[in-house]
Amino acid sequence: MSEPLLEIRDLKTHFATDNGIVRAVDGVDITIRRGETVGVVGESGCGKTVTAMSVLKLIAMPPGRIVDGQILWQGRDLIPLEADELDDIRAKDIAMVFQEPMTSLNPVYTIGEQIAEGLRRHEKLSRRAALERTVEMLRLVQIANAEKRVHDYPHQFSGGMRQRVMIAMALSCSPKLLIADEPTTALDVTIQAQILELLADMKARFGMAVMLITHAMGVVAETAQRVVVMYAGRVIEEAPVDELFANPRHPYTQGLIRSIPHIDRAATTKKRLEAIPGVVPRLIDPAPGCRFAPRCRFAMPACRLATPALRDVGGGHKVACILETGGLPQ
Amino acid sequence: MSTPLLSVRNLTKQFDIGSGFLLRNDAVVHAVDGVSFSIPPGETLGLVGESGSGKSTTGRCILRLVEPTAGEIWFQGRNVSALDARAFRALCRDMQIIFQDPFASLNPRMTVGTIIGEALTIHKLAPSKEAFTDRVVELLETVGLQADHMHRYPHEFSGGQRQRIGIARALAVEPKLIICDEPVSALDVSIQAQVINLLEDLQGKLGLTYLFIAHDLSVVEHISHRVAVMYLGRIVELASARDLYVTPLHPYTEALLSAVPVTDPKARRKRIVLQGEVPSPIHPPSGCHFHTRCPIRQLPLCAREAPPLKETASGHFVACHLRS
Amino acid sequence: MVGSIPASATAELSAAPRSKAKQFSPWLDAWRRFRRHRLALVSTVVLSAIVLSVLFMPFVWSVPINEIDFTARLKGPSPAHPFGTDDLGQDLLSRMLYGGRISLAVAFAAMVVAIVVGTIIGAIAGMSRGWVGPALMWLTDLFLSLPPLPLLLLVIYLFRDSLKSVFGPEGGVFILIVLVVGGLRWMPAARLVRAQFLSLREKEFVEAARALGASRLRQVIRHILPNALGPVIVAATVDVAAAIIAESTLSFLGLGFPPDIPSWGRILFDAKDYLDIAPHWAMFPGVAIFLTVLSISFIGDGLRDALDPRKVM
């Protein structure tokens, strides 16, 4: 096993709102090793995006605040860093691709200018060299006619094309880690297939690690090597991808996998979907104990006493459920 | 097959864009281009396609939320596209719609009770205040909400609950047909299943007929009896959900099926990645609209002539020069 | 900022406390947010104090507005005349109170005219799909391009006397000023309402109402208008402030109310020749106009934040 590139330890990011403190991320541990693709799945409000944003301190502060924890980048804690030190790590070491390719590009600059800007600042390239490199990057992400299109403005690109541009921009400084936050959610299925293909291709070429944040189980299943499942601000299960889908241990993961319609099974045996009852719990003053307990069909009194810790149950499969780890936690 | 409840013939919708008071611009968006299908009572017809395929416009044309440019819509043996606005409003009681966005589809300034009961007020279906309240409570309970929710405002509810409110609103007039326009796409996975199950239960209990519009092939496959695949305003394939999955005929359907990411490694198909993007519906390609991206061998005919939707096996229709 | 924490925002929504007996309608919610706007809250208190004293103080302070006392000309504030007196020895406090009634009445009436006209024109333009909308917007632009002050003067010269003869000097001038000020300020409201209508009429909840068979009038009154009202209310506060200033300007130019009917602007106009000997005379109406306009503007700011649709949705 290679050395950890990014280690998120007991991260807590909270938001002050009118109604109280929202514990969006409340004790998250995620490790990403060199060259590895880790999928982070969960429903909206589970804290997956906030976790990613916290890594680069891209959350609005206030109302947001990193209350506790460490974010170790190759052993160095990013949380106490000043803005300019962080700037250097952003883009150069860690790059990010967002969900909305429409809004992540500045409409008044050509895409060439936007990609070149990062190259000139971080790689100290000349204007000429930066432009050449930009064209090369656009070619890499399979934008036809790259030397012409480099002078086009974002609105002249379609959604899928813009996402390609975003990927080109993110990869232009050869980062060691790419954080992709729902990179295909806004796209059509066939375009999603193209972008996933492109990401796999880029990974093979550059060898960077990828943190893929998504709500789509199918997307993680096809792209990630390891999967982290989040629920209500905490990691509840983590396992190698095949292990997770073949043998999910946490009741929430099981429910999630069973609640999605499987196209393969739907056609042959029409079965009723197993929905998880109830709604995502409130993150303001959450009740003690396992946060999934109110919706869990196996919940017992002990579940409501203390938050279960994430424990290894063998083979790198970690789960935070006292049914699986046995006994009372902590 | 029994007489269809709804039958759409050659439905066409073109939007003029950019034509102003003085500025004349003759750009036309060919949103729906000669679509025909029918739905027998009690069935769910799925309508899938990517953005720009015209699936939502088709649904809106049926309810005349958008006036169709051409074509006929027959509902319960009547040509509803010929009715005037007043006669059509009366008919609205038999056709309803559920929307995609659970946040935009409910008026934020009305209580849930008023929203659900609005149809009762419009069509004067509640003789008294008590009857109104009773009916609203009944509807709330039908969709799995509670009676005391009627005095609350939409913003107090989660996405899934709002979608239930939208369903209750549609059910108020006891419709026969409900057009479900992406009703679960905006919801979380675990909530999606709740709403899909609710829609299935209601169909069983009330004998509803659905036109289920969605971009998510797995959801459509799950809920539909038959599925129609749309590409750039035209139906390219129409078959039973099973046939479509097991023996897709149109190359676009194949590509679409192969692009759906699945969790089971054994169920994975060889992925056909289509080149390029869906062309603009302002200038759709000549002939078969798909010929510019088609991965299989092409005939000169493909670029020249639009293939008609032909029945190849019983109930399996495909519009392809090569596969029919 | 809102966009960067979507996850937590939705989570909070889905977890909105159900057990609370307290009810939150959108308007109540807006009031909650308004209360947090400190300056707007203070302004509300100030404006209420001004309105209440103008309405009820004359019952307590019953010195007639036209009691001439040449022995007490141009006196500064004293127990007998808390706001001092003018060149005829008339009590300024009672003239200020009376004038406040007129100034505020003119302002509110003009605002109502502007908002009603603006809303109707904006609504028609926003609902029409044919040539009516663009035509109405042309009309709006036409009115916006007219220079207001010369037009105001022209209209007043043309119609003052005929209106005076029908409604009496006071009523005639009142109606004239209200119509002129209101009639020249409806355009921003019309544009605002039209823009709101254009976006709201395509909203899914309006489509849903249409699918249920709601008539156009019902769609407008039940669904579109209530959701378009927030910005209009904010615009209304701006209009009140503008109308107070317009009335003062007219009176200051000697074109408003006659000298025997005091309004704040009129008092200021009369005081301008005595600024050096009796500065209090100009100060009181000046401060009254200043405080009223300022507090209305702050209230408008507070309402803008409180009624922001992004926060309501």
Domains of chain B listed by start with CATH number: 6-318 (3.40.50.300)
- C10 in any annotated domain: no
DSSP string over A35-47: T-EEEEE--TTSS
Residue from the list B60, B104, B153 with its beta carbon closest to the beta carbon of C24: B153
Least confident span in A145-159, A302-316, B247-261, C246-260: C246-260
- C237 in any annotated domain: yes
Give CA separation, C107 vs A89, C47, C164, C301, in Å: 59, 13, 20, 19
Interchain pair C17, A45: CB under 8 A = no
Query: How far is it, in rounded angstroms, from Cα C70 to Cα C64?
Result: 15
- C104 in any annotated domain: yes
Percentage of residues of chain A with pLDDT beyond 70: 95
**How many residues belong to chain A?**
330
Q: CA triplet A97, A102, A108: central angle to 5 degrees?
A: 105
Interchain pair A53, C12: CB under 8 A = no
Percentage of residues of chain C with pLDDT beyond 90: 15
Most confident of A28-37, A58-67, B13-22: A28-37
- Print the SS3 string covering A142-209: CCCCHHHHCCCCHHHCCHHHHHHHHHHHHHCCCCCEEEEECCCCCCCHHHHHHHHHHHHHHHHHHCCE
- C291 in any annotated domain: yes
Domain extent, residue C260, equals 39-58+91-306
Residue from the list C4, C5, C12 with its beta carbon closest to the beta carbon of A282: C12
Please report which confidence band the pLDDT of residue C11 belongs to, taking 50, 70 and 90 as the band edges: very low
* Contacts with A257 from chain B: Cβ below 8 Å: 263
Residue pointed to by tokens 């200043």? C290
Interchain pair A60, C7: CB under 8 A = no
pLDDT at C78 over 70: yes
The helix/strand/coil state of B47 is strand
Nearest CA in chain C to B20: C134
Say what the pLDDT of residue A327 is: 54
Query: How far is it, in rounded angstroms, from Cα B314 to Cα C95?
Result: 93
Say what the pLDDT of residue B166 is: 93
Is residue B110 within 8 angstroms of chain C, CB to CB? Answer: yes
C-beta neighbour count of A35 within 10 angstroms: 16
C-beta neighbour count of C225 within 10 angstroms: 18
User: Which amino acid belongs to residue B48?
Assistant: V
Number of domains in chain C: 1
Query: How far is it, in rounded angstroms, from Cα A74 to Cα A89?
Result: 11
For residues C245 and C252, the answer to whether their CB atoms sit within 8 Å is no
CATH number of the domain where residue C103 is located: 1.10.3720.10
For residues B262 and B216, the answer to whether their CB atoms sit within 8 Å is no
Say what the pLDDT of residue C216 is: 87
Nearest CA in chain B to C204: B105
CA distance B86 to chain A (A): 39
Please report which confidence band the pLDDT of residue C23 belongs to, taking 50, 70 and 90 as the band edges: low
Query: How far is it, in rounded angstroms, from Cα C210 to Cα C226?
Result: 17
CA distance B97 to chain A (A): 23
- C105 in any annotated domain: yes
Say what the pLDDT of residue C66 is: 75
Each residue of C118-144: pLDDT tens digit? Answer: 999 999 999 887 888 889 999 999 988
List CB contacts of B84: < 8 A, sequence separation 6 or more. Answer: none
C-beta neighbour count of B247 within 10 angstroms: 13
Query: How far is it, in rounded angstroms, from Cα A287 to Cα A304?
Result: 8
Each residue of C153-163: pLDDT tens digit? Answer: 788 788 878 87
DSSP state of A229: E
| Cβ burial, residue C108 (10 Å; 0-12/13-18/19+) | middle
User: Which amino acid belongs to residue B172?
Assistant: A
- C34 in any annotated domain: no
CA distance B265 to chain A (A): 8
Element (H, E) at C272: none
Strand order in the sheet with B316-318: B95-98, B177-181, B209-214, B44-48, B226-231, B234-240, B316-318, B310-313
- ipTM field: 0.83
C-beta neighbour count of C205 within 10 angstroms: 26
- C228 in any annotated domain: yes
Query: How far is it, in rounded angstroms, from Cα C251 to Cα C245?
Result: 10
Query: How far is it, in rounded angstroms, from Cα C292 to Cα B53?
Result: 57
Please report which confidence band the pLDDT of residue A262 belongs to, taking 50, 70 and 90 as the band edges: confident
Query: How far is it, in rounded angstroms, from Cα B193 to Cα B177?
Result: 21
Which residue ranges of chain B lie beneath pLDDT 70?
1-2, 18-26
For an interface test with A, give the residue of B201, B258, B263 to mutate (most A CBs within 10 A).
B263
- C197 in any annotated domain: yes
Is residue B63 within 8 angstroms of chain C, CB to CB? Answer: yes
For residues C231 and C196, the answer to whether their CB atoms sit within 8 Å is yes
Tell whether the torsion through CA atoms of A290, A295, A296 and A301 is positive or negative: positive
User: Which amino acid belongs to residue B114?
Assistant: T
Each residue of A153-212: pLDDT tens digit? Answer: 888 888 788 888 888 888 888 888 999 998 888 788 888 888 888 888 888 888 899 999
Please report which confidence band the pLDDT of residue C313 belongs to, taking 50, 70 and 90 as the band edges: very low
A209 vs C275, higher pLDDT: A209
DSSP state of A210: E
Give CA separation, C81 vs A173, C53, C55, C64, C75, in Å: 79, 16, 19, 12, 8
pLDDT at C7 over 60: no
Helices H, strands E: what count in chain C?
Answer: 13, 0
Least confident span in A248-262, C75-89, C283-297: C75-89
- The residues on C that touch A, with CB distances below 8 Å, are 1, 4-8, 10-12, 14-17
* Contacts with C4 from chain A: Cβ below 8 Å: 53, 58-60, 64
Interchain pair A262, B190: CB under 8 A = no
